[in-house]
Structure 1
């Protein structure tokens, strides 16, 4: 078992060399695992040994909290009041859309191996941007379906998700409108650091199937203008538009007013940067667990528009969390899911 490692994109990185909070380090050499909190706390971990390999075998089976032990930073009544507050802000013209999130937390029994949780998620909820990062002081296990930023040289792409249902038939006109709003926001964000005329939208409102639900996904591409590095790219685009709202500045203020717990890696960025090859893939930190000390946390949320129904939005947060929380909770007596 490795004390410190990252597994992302089918690559296993070991032999941790150093840690930094400086995003400009990503413009230099080396392979980096990256975790950036929604609140902007940066952790970049450079590893010396990087190879294609499966997840390491866990030392023990996963033993998570009791399913009833999870506590939400916002209960249903508080969440629904938050939805109504956002609708009033929309009525007043202060914002068009804002993401309202809550954080679930529980105390872990003993010191389970988070690699076993990663294996369980890989089997029970495979995700295109799954990642596990374990470094001193923090463990992140993500089953994210959403691409925040990929990079090939100076070419960058973001694939925002907006719109969630059990099936395609559950998606509403509100979901499509919300997706288009966020695409416009992402276009504007990337346009701040892109060569003039290179921002494009090659995919708009495509339906993607994921375990237990469907999402509406779009793609925005651009080419970085000369002289812009990772610090500039994050300054222009972070936090991701799909988990904030539009206009972003107003949405951020409203989120700060209504949410009662820091989001941490949830709604931040989790992934890798290869400075030698100028390649990268960073996911939006949704469907993401993080562990510090003996506490495990998981975030869930929904995008609120004028057409939002408070109870339906609460149920959307439940839908997004249900499968993952079940996988991370303790197995019924006599059952071992790992």
Structure 2
């Protein structure tokens, strides 16, 4: 005898095929489910296990989708499919689930187009075949279970780590832009008061720390630059301060300039923390790609492709020009030479090479990168 395993939002059901002889003779099974009367003559409810609550329903459904069985489902199938007289055969919707049932319980299973058509027919007449459950109740249960399964899948999605990397590298790019703008504004603003400092100190963070330490030029004899700059640089700053021709500023100006300098220092420190976080994540998710082209370039490629899986699917020729799409289409439109590299140009191997070898190295590197993903 054949039983059909059918999952519903309310519980698990086993339906018995009453006219099993017709299954071998006919191909169109859906005609037996056109009306509730026809469906009740073709299949009959054999057993039903109702879910206790949404938690149990979610656990059972997610296990079934993964091709696994819970203890309660095993007990339900054993008690209703295996008897002393005869062992029933189960029609399943999923090949992996059928294999699990066969291996774990020793019950013969069948999958294929015939089983899918039967399950489709039962689903079409579900409200009439399931006794004691109204269509409204089934709809509400279905909606609640669908939301629970969606939340569960979103919680344990494989793309979660990828999305963290995409967000981190995008933020890192934004921080670099903002940091450059803030540092440039700070240098321009403070140069009205002490223009010589910009020529002595080039680093943005060091410049901001000197501004926070020094403030007005008149404080040069009172402050110490220990831990900010080396002693020889500090001496140059003192000498430049004595002969500086910058204009005087008010205390209110000094307060605002120092506020901007503190922002530059804070953003620089946060950028260093974010960069370390990104480096650790990249070493965990794509270690080979990170070693080959560096964590920043690898993260930018993943962000541009959308995810690591999408990047792995791309051919080497696409990875080579990823990030240079505008230049590619412009070259194709004007019938000029197409670009030889995109984001991969920032990799150290390409950047250090001679100009005549850059294109060749970028092509080789992109081929290796496609294997690393």
TM-score under structure 2 length normalisation:
0.18
Query: Higher helix fraction: Structure 1 or Structure 2?
Result: 2
TM-score under structure 1 length normalisation:
0.20
Query: Higher strand fraction: Structure 1 or Structure 2?
Result: 1
